[in-house]
C-alpha cells in the first residue's frame, strides 16, 4: 500500500512493516502551527515586531496540547513550580523528521521500577495540569547511513536509516525557565512500524528511553 501526500514541495508516502515485537507505540502525533507573519494592518515593507522570550498563557494547562506550547515559547503561571525535592512530573515532546514540522508526545517505557507509583507520577503523569517540566526535542543534524529498514507494505520497500543528533531543552512549565539544554545522538536504531516520508526519503535514529531517563533523572527525581 502506498499513500501519496502533497506536502512541503515533495510527495510523501507511508510504509508499514510487520510488527516484530510487543513493544507498545511510544508517540502520539501533535502538530505545530506555521510561522507567524506580519501583523494585519502593518505598513507595506515592514514586519510586525518579533516577540522575544517566553510569554505567559492566560489560561491553565488542561491537555497535552497545552503543554506542547511550552516548546513554542509559552508558559503557564498557574501550573505548579519545580520543587527542591521530590518527584517533578515531566512531559516530553520529540521531533522525528526534518521535513514535517511536528512534535510527538513521547511516553517512556524503559524506566527502572517504572511500575511503582513514584516513577509513574514522575515519568507518566496522569494529569497534564500537574506537570512541572517539559522537554522539547528537536532534530538538528543527520549523518551517516546506519542500515536499511525493510517494510512489508508496499512489499520490498527499503528506506535508509541515518544517524541523527537532537537538541533537548528542558523548561519549567510555570515560568518558562530553561533548566537544561543538551545535544544527544539517537541510539535507538529500531526500524519504525510505520513511517511518513518526506522529500529526503530517510528515517533517523531516535533518542532511546534510557537516554531520556539518564539525561533527565536528576531534574525529575530529586
Return the pLDDT at 194.
85
Report, as an integer, the average pLDDT of 184-189: 97
Grid coordinates standing for 131? Answer: 506537570
pLDDT digits (tens, 9 = 90+) for 37-55: 444 444 555 455 666 789 9
CA dihedral 96, 100, 105, 107 (to 10 degrees): -30
Return the pLDDT at 114.
85
213 Cβ contact list (under 8 Å, min separation 6): 108, 110, 111, 112, 123
Report, as an integer, the average pLDDT of 16-34: 40
pLDDT digits (tens, 9 = 90+) for 67-120: 999 999 999 999 999 999 999 999 999 987 776 678 889 999 999 998 898 899
Of residues 18 and 185, the one with the higher pLDDT is: 185
Tell me the percentage of the chain whose pLDDT exceeds 90.
60
pLDDT band, residue 197 (cuts 50/70/90): confident
- Cα separation, 66 vs 50, in Å, equals 22
Return the pLDDT at 51.
66
Report, as an integer, the average pLDDT of 50-63: 90
Tell me the percentage of the chain whose pLDDT exceeds 70.
75
Q: What is the pTM of this model?
A: 0.77
SS3 for 80-96 is CCCCCCCECCEEEEECC
pLDDT band, residue 152 (cuts 50/70/90): confident
Return the pLDDT at 28.
36
Is the pLDDT reported for residue 202 higher than 80?
yes
Return the pLDDT at 25.
38
Amino acid at each position: 500500500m502506498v499513500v501519496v501526500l502533497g506536502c512541503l514541495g515533495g510527495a510523501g508516502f507511508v510504509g508499514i512493516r510487520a510488527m516484530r515485537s510487543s513493544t507498545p507505540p511510544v508517540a502520539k502525533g501533535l502538530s505545530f502551527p506555521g510561522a507567524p507573519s506580519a501583523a494585519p494592518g502593518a505598513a507595506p515593507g515592514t514586519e510586525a515586531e518579533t516577540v522575544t522570550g517566553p510569554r505567559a498563557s492566560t489560561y491553565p494547562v488542561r491537555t497535552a496540547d497545552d503543554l506542547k506550547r511550552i516548546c513554542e515559547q509559552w508558559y503557564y503561571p498557574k501550573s505548579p513550580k519545580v520543587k527542591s525535592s521530590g518527584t517533578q512530573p515531566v512531559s516530553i515532546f520529540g521531533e522525528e523528521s526534518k521535513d514535517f514540522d511536528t512534535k510527538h508526545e513521547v511516553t517512556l517505557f524503559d524506566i527502572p521500577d517504572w511500575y511503582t507509583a513514584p516513577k509513574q507520577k514522575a515519568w507518566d503523569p496522569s494529569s497534564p495540569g500537574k506537570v512541572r517540566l517539559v522537554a522539547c526535542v528537536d532534530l538538528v543534524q543527520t549523518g551517516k547511513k546506519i542500515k536499511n529498514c525493510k517494510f512489508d507494505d508496499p512489499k520490498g520497500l527499503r528506506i535508509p536509516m541515518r544517524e541523527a543528533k537532537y537538541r533537548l531543552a528542558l523548561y519549567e512549565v510555570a515560568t518558562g525557565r530553561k533548566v537544561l539544554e543538551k545535544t544527544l545522538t539517537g541510539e535507538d536504531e529500531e526500524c519504525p512500524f510505520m513511517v511518513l516520508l518526506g522529500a529526503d526519503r530517510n528515517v533517523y535514529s531516535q533518542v532511546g528511553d534510557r537516554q531520556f531517563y539518564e539525561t533527565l533523572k536528576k531534574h525529575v527525581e530529586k
